[in-house]
Amino acid sequence: MPYTITEKILLKHANLKAIHPGEFINAKIDLCLGNDITAPFAIEEFEKLGVNRVFDKKKVALVPDHFTPAKDSKSANQCKAMANFAKRYGIKNYFEVGRMGIEHALLPEAGLVKPGDLVIGADSHTCTYGALGAFSTGVGSTDLAAAMATGLCWLKVPESMKFIFSGRLNRWVGGKDLILHLIGDIGVDGARYRAMEFCGETIENLPIDDRLTMCNMAIEAGGKNGIIAPDKVTSRYIKSINLKARPGIGRRYFSDKDARYVQVKEYDARKIEPLVACPALPSNIKPARALEDIAIDQVVIGSCTNGRLSDLRLAARILRGKKVKAGVRMIVIPATQKIYLEAVDEGLARIFIDAGGVFSTPTCGPCLGGHMGILAEGERAIATTNRNFVGRMGHPKSEVYLSNPAVAAASAVKGRIAHPDEVV
């Protein structure tokens, strides 16, 4: 029977002879994770189970990244609960402040995710790891509790959709624009509980960071997971990172030629330009050039979507020798400590600071309206984050626009939404 890459990974981890969409399975997990918002609830449920150990000390990851460094006593208590749990049960992959980063950038960087893995996380953007050829998806805190105890997760096999991108990318266009274009086409529920498989010559030539961005935002179309078949780009990335945590290069799976898809969509990347998602949905997309009358108060460059070194390099390319418009706040947040140091060593941090921006320690802070960049009533921000729902970054009467790092940086200089060509 022919299978998609997603179905093959689930079949292997469920140890079944056959599998089909809609079927409920119990699957063995390779890694489960929680953060400072979701893990404390999972810990409470775990303790109710009456077990005296986690299923595997090396396959549980706890990352305090959303409200950290702790913004108040409540968030500090959340982090303390995680630290105590990690110590009590000997969790090997607990990342304290100073070691931590934004979870979906940190875990691949730490070598904890490999092709062919099955990863679950109590965070909706766990789908990021599909960029490495893994099945990864977000779950609830109670599911995380059960997984930490048993090493199993109860899943429904999703139907698969295939998205084929062809053609060479235009200048300033990257993975963020590809996924925004796709979401704008199918809507925020267009892939509801479906596996979103990205392929085609454009994807084959896409750097790993851009692939991570695309899979990260699969959930914004309602997807159960996003996934890209592993190739030479994947192999180079896996070999470049620290593999001490989990030695080996993983297992590669590929969709069969006659695998069944509920829908196949094709896109010509040559027709895609730098895009912006307008309030209050990621599907409300418009070309950056069409929004040049939208003044902004804040720019955020970072997050699990676009906080990697390549993103910072792109923003710095725009900002070098320029100044952020008076009256505009620019906040730059590298996704991990490693990226922070690399940005300092390359001189990127100085470019941001000389331009009049803030260069922050890793945190999810402003993305979810937690801290480090909350919007006041009536304010507008353009951000490289992944969601722009009402009140997402602060006051319900504020607005968030989503873009790639080049558009965000250009907008910081102009004080309004701007196409990078206006600045460079």
pLDDT at 245: 62
Domain annotation covers residue 271? no
Tell me, yes or no, whether 289 and 261 share the same domain: no
Tell me, yes or no, whether 241 and 117 share the same domain: yes
Instruction: Kindly tell me if the per-residue pLDDT of 243 is higher than 90.
Output: no
Tell me, yes or no, whether 242 and 307 share the same domain: no
Task: State pLDDT tens for residues 71-98.
Answer: 999 999 999 999 999 999 999 999 999 9
Tell me, yes or no, whether 261 and 287 share the same domain: no
pLDDT at 99: 93
CATH classification of the domain holding 187 = 3.30.499.10
Tell me, yes or no, whether 333 and 388 share the same domain: yes
Tell me, yes or no, whether 92 and 136 share the same domain: yes
Domain annotation covers residue 129? yes
CA distance 291 to 145: 45
- For the segment 53-75, the average pLDDT, to the nearest whole number, is 96
Which of 266, 292, 314 is at the close of a domain? 266
Range of the domain at 358: 276-422
pLDDT at 296: 98
Instruction: Kindly tell me if the per-residue pLDDT of 58 is higher than 70.
Output: yes
CA distance 341 to 77: 28
For the chain, the domain total comes to 2
Domain annotation covers residue 367? yes
Is this prediction's pTM over 0.75?
yes
Which of 231, 266, 301 is at the close of a domain? 266
Question: Sign of torsion, CA 46 48 50 52?
Answer: positive
Instruction: Kindly tell me if the per-residue pLDDT of 247 is higher than 80.
Output: no
Tokens linked to 96: 């304290």
Tell me, yes or no, whether 159 and 87 share the same domain: yes
Instruction: Kindly tell me if the per-residue pLDDT of 250 is higher than 90.
Output: no
Q: Please report the beta strands in 293-417, taking only residues with DSSP state E, as ranges in sequence order.
A: 298-301, 329-332, 358-359, 380-383, 399-402
Determine which helix (DSSP H) or strand (DSSP E) holds 185, and give its type and residue range: helix 175-186
Tell me, yes or no, whether 185 and 295 share the same domain: no
Residue with tokens 């898809």: 261
Instruction: Kindly tell me if the per-residue pLDDT of 365 is higher than 90.
Output: yes
- Buried b or exposed e, range 287-323, using 16+ CB within 10 angstroms: ebeebeebebbbbbbbbbbbbbbbbbbbbbbbbbebe
Q: With contact defined as beta carbons under 8 Å apart, do 400 and 279 qualify?
A: yes
CA distance 283 to 221: 8
Contacts for 345 with CB less than 8 Å, ≥ 6 apart: none
Which of 266, 293, 328 is at the close of a domain? 266
Tell me, yes or no, whether 54 and 192 share the same domain: yes
pLDDT at 204: 98
Tell me, yes or no, whether 164 and 282 share the same domain: no
